[in-house]
């Protein structure tokens, strides 16, 4: 009997994270559901209960990002429970929007800490487990903001652009161990970090999308599911754009 594969999704209780968890659970993965704090743990436990009908093991794990000690403990817990890690989805992210000339150093650093530094630390730990297996899939959730730049998001755009650079470097370094590293770059997704936009801002964004509508969390989850599966064996170092045509390189 083939051993079930294991995936860790950071930020599992957010809109994108939950959609990704459902997609991977449906594909037969056991899951480590990352969350933060007591409230996050309750949400992760509820998510695990909702996923239970897929018949896998769904383990809530807590860690404050980018606390290196807590991240190390999280990966140790995953290793103790599952004994392996096949897929890492670096999905957790925050935004602290402000015009460049008004943005404080704390606002800049906080976004880079969660969106980039935490992803780097998780990638390091995940890669060490995958190297021993000579197999793995690492998927970083980037953003069209890191490709185009976005008004009022110098910190967020910088973190996502750097995440793409990290993706490409890790892909080169880990390829010899049969570990692929790719990024998914959502455009305007009708959930999560876009919920704070005003109606005017929302309409302005949608007007720029050739398909004429925002994407959904499931659109992103389907892309992650593809990169996590066997059909993406020969794809690494790539950015899969899920943006309705907003960016056409």
> Which residues are identified as catalytic?
156
The β-bridge relationship of strands 136-141 and 58-62 is unpaired
Residue 241 host element (H or E): strand 239-242
Q: How far is CA 87 from CA 31, 139, 224, 247, in A?
A: 9, 8, 10, 27
Tokens of 15: 């809109």
64 by DSSP, 3-state: which? coil
| Dist. CA 149–CA 119, nearest whole Å | 20
Q: Which residue in 101, 195, 93, 82 sits closest to 146, CA to CA? A: 93
């Amino acid at each position: 009997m083939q051993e079930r594969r294991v995936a860790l999704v950071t930020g599992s209780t957010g809109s994108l994270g939950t959609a990704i968890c459902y997609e991977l659970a449906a594909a037969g993965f056991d899951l480590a559901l990352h969350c933060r704090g007591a409230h996050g743990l309750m949400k992760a436990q509820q998510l695990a209960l909702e996923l239970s009908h897929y018949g896998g093991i769904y383990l809530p794990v807590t860690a404050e990002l980018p606390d290196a000690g807590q991240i190390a403990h999280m990966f140790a817990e995953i290793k103790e429970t599952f004994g392996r890690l096949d897929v890492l989805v670096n999905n957790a992210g925050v935004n602290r929007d402000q015009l460049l000339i008004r943005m404080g150093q704390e606002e800049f650093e906080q976004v880079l800490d969660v969106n980039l530094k935490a992803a780097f630390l998780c990638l390091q730990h995940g890669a060490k487990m995958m190297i021993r297996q000579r197999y793995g899939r690492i998927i970083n959730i980037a953003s069209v903001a890191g490709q185009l730049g976005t008004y009022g998001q110098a910190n967020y755009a910088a973190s996502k652009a750097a995440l793409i650079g990290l993706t490409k470097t890790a892909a080169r370094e880990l390829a010899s161990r049969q570990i692929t590293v790719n990024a998914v770059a959502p455009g305007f997704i009708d959930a999560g970090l876009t919920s704070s936009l005003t109606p005017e801002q929302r309409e302005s964004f949608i007007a720029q999308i050739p398909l004429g509508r925002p994407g959904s969390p499931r659109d992103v989850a389907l892309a992650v599911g593809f990169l996590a599966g066997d059909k993406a064996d020969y794809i690494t170092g790539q950015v899969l754009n899920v943006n309705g045509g907003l960016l056409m390189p």
